[in-house]
A and B are shown apart, each in its own frame.
Chain A
């Protein structure tokens, strides 16, 4: 019986690479979205809400709910469940509407 999704699907992915989440190195597999890489590292939240500052992460998984918004390589409001992870990606927790740090 399969113990992991990769075993179930008979996956033999290419070599994993590194992205960072708030400075912490996180491994990602080629073909995974940013959200999938974070889930595999046990990270479920990468945004705080605009009004009450509560943590959020991926919810609908298909780009409909916008709960998974992340700041990716300095660009806020990107849906982590749709964006493919690329080597060296810098993910930072998005606070509020995501524009405070970039002064917009």
Chain B
């Protein structure tokens, strides 16, 4: 804890998932005063999202993989001096005079009792995770079509399912985890439809051999799918959703190697919900707003470019977990700890135990290599646009169809997602292009290599105008309700 209410924290950690928790406890363990901000009322992030205490879940671990790792982090957090600021929606990070960072947040559950809070800190660790990448297809706006991660999030936090018979589709390893948890929770899952194959992994034998825990995880999900009689169909995609008010069936079509649907191979599967997703997108707008350098990942998303100790290109701003490229919970924990230690070294001006840093870097490099192999194996290939019809909505918020985007490209000369947005409003609605950005960029590229859409948004979450109207109001470097300092 800072010595007085006007003192800044040493480190502000944004995001209380695997990376943020590991970073916060590591930094606090080395003597830094730490504030940990998260939008959710609970720690755990998306991966360890769990029911609110009032739901009285005696076995939350049944919904999760590797729960003990989270339980251990949570215990360490409870024993630490880390100041937990839950229910804080961070909308911007800025630099203040005197080399301090200001983290701007709004408290309250989306519109109720919002109050602006400004947390000042000497360094920032960004651990904001990722959200799901979506590729559109005819019928994907029909009620009953939900994100694969979305279905899992609603299951983990609210103990609910979107239907009784749920097809899981898209690409990436998350689909297996989603299908096995939906089935374990009582849903019938007739099939998992994966657009890629799994042969891609075989091209990286050394990476696989170095990551036995990942193979064991895959085996656990595979066994669960067998047990629940879930069929896995690779090189296939849902190319149409049927139903009037809600999903009643989907058509699954074979894909060629370029993800182009193969004519005449469509088969109908009856279901009342479809859980769909095509990998994850790092959530990095707080960093890009500060000018942090980015890199394009192996599956075509934008992630932060980080140095060997997790620092961004902006001094004093670290990042860990999915913000540096999607790689999973175990990697996020290693990177979070590494970033927390690096921040402690910088602020204290003397090194921490070098052996631990070396070990963490070794583990990180090994798991990053696996993440890279995984990303290559499931990266969307350009032919997916072949399953769009002209009247398929691409932008869900502004209801912009594929036909209108194609017109912007072929008739009006748009060559990138930004120009498509200006001409059609795709990506200009509530979600600010989070759902349609990838698709709009692919369509703009017209079959060529798509530039990942720039993750530049002035506000990371909606902000009440009152918060903007008085940005310099002394909202407190520490929240009003901070407990008395005992040191």
Contacts and interface: CB of A to CB of B under 8 A. Distances in A.
B424 to A, nearest CB: 12
B353 interface: no
Contacts of A75: 111
A24 interface: no
Interface string A56-74: 1111111111110100000
Contact of B60 (A9, A39, A61, A77): A9
Interface string B168-190: 00000000000000001110000
Interface string B124-158: 00000001100000000101111101111111011
Chain A: interface size category: 35 or more
A36 B149 contact: no
A84 B123 CA distance: 33
A9 B186 CA distance: 11
A78 B396 contact: no
B57 A60 contact: no
Nearest to B63: A9
B143 A57 contact: yes
B62 interface: yes
A84 B52 CA distance: 10
A3 B397 contact: no
A32 B214 CA distance: 32
A59 B145 contact: yes
A57 B150 CA distance: 12
A65 B154 contact: no
A28 B129 CA distance: 30
Interface stretch (B319-327, B336-344, B427-435): B427-435
Interface string A1-35: 11111111111111000000000000001111101
Interface stretch (B159-167, B252-260, B302-310, B473-481): B159-167
B154 A55 contact: no
A66 B143 contact: no
Select the residue from A9, A31, A83 with max chain B CB neighbours within 10 A: A9
Contacts of A29: 54-55, 159
B59 A78 contact: no
A9 B59 contact: yes
A8 B62 CA distance: 6
A44 B431 contact: no
A63 B110 contact: yes
A9 B206 CA distance: 37
Contact of A58 (B62, B146, B398, B461): B146
A4 B184 CA distance: 8
B51 A31 contact: yes
A82 B146 CA distance: 16
Interface string B237-248: 000000001100
Contacts of A56: 141, 143, 396
Given A36-B157, A49-B399, A58-B150, A63 B39 contact: yes
A77 B114 CA distance: 14
Interface string B432-447: 0011000000000000
Contacts of A55: 143, 245
A13 B434 CA distance: 34
A1 B480 CA distance: 48
B58 interface: yes
A50 B395 CA distance: 13
Contacts of A37: 158
Contact of A66 (B52, B162, B429): B429
Nearest to B89: A63
A83 B108 CA distance: 9
B484 interface: no
B112 interface: yes
Given A44-B162, A45-B246, A65-B431, A60 B51 contact: no
Given A9-B57, A29-B55, A39-B161, A2 B246 contact: no
Interface string B40-81: 000000100001111111111011000000000000000000
A35 B158 CA distance: 9
Given A40-B160, A60-B147, A8 B184 contact: yes
Given A4-B185, A29-B54, 19 more contacts: A8-B59, A9-B51, A9-B59, A13-B55, A29-B159, A30-B54, A31-B54, A32-B52, A32-B159, A32-B160, A40-B158, A56-B141, A60-B435, A61-B150, A63-B39, A64-B131, A64-B435, A65-B396, A83-B111
25 contacts: A9-B62, A11-B57, A13-B55, A29-B54, A31-B55, A32-B159, A33-B158, A36-B158, A44-B143, A44-B246, A45-B143, A45-B245, A56-B141, A56-B143, A59-B145, A59-B146, A61-B154, A63-B110, A64-B131, A64-B435, A65-B431, A65-B435, A79-B110, A81-B154, A84-B109
- The 9 A-B pairs with the shortest beta carbon distances in the complex, nearest first, are A36-B158, A31-B52, A61-B150, A31-B54, A66-B430, A10-B58, A30-B54, A10-B59, A61-B153
